[in-house]
């Protein structure tokens, strides 16, 4: 795997994680928070699909993909927990 590609993927994941931490307060903006959460889950699903596709094409090591997928899972769990705790 090209180190630049891996760095870009890590940067994207970190940026999205930070964005999730800044999610709007659902008590004040319930609809906005629900839309944000749904869109964020769509982004995570697209990232998962891209990682798996790159792995299947032999461009990313399986171990690296597992680690990145685990981070995506944690991000999704965090977004879900924040939304559910505020509804």
**Overall average pLDDT of the 16-35 stretch:** 62
Q: What is the pLDDT of residues 5-21, one digit of tens each?
A: 777 877 777 776 665 55
Its pTM stands at 0.61
What is the C-alpha radius of gyration for the chain, rounded to an integer number of angstroms? 14
Give percent of the chain with pLDDT exceeding 90: 29
For the chain, give every domain's residue range: 3-86
């Amino acid at each position: 795997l090209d180190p630049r590609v891996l760095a870009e993927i890590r940067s994207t994941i970190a940026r999205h994680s930070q964005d999730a931490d800044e999610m709007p307060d659902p008590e004040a903006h319930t609809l906005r928070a629900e839309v944000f959460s749904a869109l964020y889950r769509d982004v995570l699903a697209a990232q998962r699909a891209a990682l798996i596709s790159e792995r299947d094409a032999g461009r990313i090591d399986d171990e690296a993909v597992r680690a990145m997928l685990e981070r995506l899972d944690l991000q999704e769990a965090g977004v879900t927990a924040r939304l559910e705790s505020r509804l």
